[in-house]
Amino acid sequence: MDLRDDIQTHRVIRYQAPLIAWVGMITVSSAVPAGWFPQLPFWWLPKTVHVVFFFFLCLFIYRALRFQQSLPTLQKYAIPVSVLCTIIYAMADETHQLFVEGRTARLSDVALDASSAFLFLLVHRVTTAIRSSKLPACSP
């Protein structure tokens, strides 16, 4: 194994493995029948989980696309492609839930998941603007 193979292996582990693990976690949690979840005390808690799961899904898709070297076009358009992939995965996840006992597919959940992708887009734009400006991020 030469240095080039080591670098490629490092890239896969660092940028693609988290995406694969995260997709697996979402898929497994989506496959759990409704009665197996504990009753949550606040109505907004499951929706917050949706936002967090799909925000990080978009982040991991972005990282996997941005730092791969095989397809330069995907690297160039990593942000819009990651948002689009997140929305497509949200639709597939809700469709999958139609086949899980006690679970339902909700268009509102797809919309919430899509908003998580757009929240990632906003956070990315703001952090990029802060990093590229000469001003410090926080002033004392």
pLDDT for 102 equals 85
Split at pLDDT 50, 70, 90, the class of 137 is: low
Token pair for 96: 């999958």
Indicate the domain borders of the chain: 3-30+43-125
Is the pLDDT confidence value at 5 over 80? no
Give the ranges where 1-140 is alpha helix by DSSP (H).
Answer: 3-11, 17-30, 45-66, 72-76, 78-97, 107-132
Furthest C-alpha separation in the chain: 54
pTM value? Answer: 0.83
Q: Rounded to an integer, what distance in angstroms lies between the CA atom of residue 37 and that of residue 33?
A: 8
Q: Which residue has the higher pLDDT, 1 or 127?
A: 127
Is the pLDDT confidence value at 21 over 70? yes
Per the CB < 8 A criterion, the answer to whether 119 and 53 are in contact is: no
Is the pLDDT confidence value at 29 over 70? yes
CA atoms within 13 A of residue 66's CA, in its CB half-sphere: 15
pLDDT one-digit tens code per residue, 63-119: 999 988 888 898 899 999 999 999 999 999 999 999 998 888 899 999 999 999 999
pLDDT one-digit tens code per residue, 9-18: 777 788 888 9
52 Cβ neighbours under 8 A, 6+ residues apart: 116
Mean local confidence (pLDDT), 4-26: 82
pLDDT one-digit tens code per residue, 39-70: 767 767 778 988 999 999 999 999 999 988 88
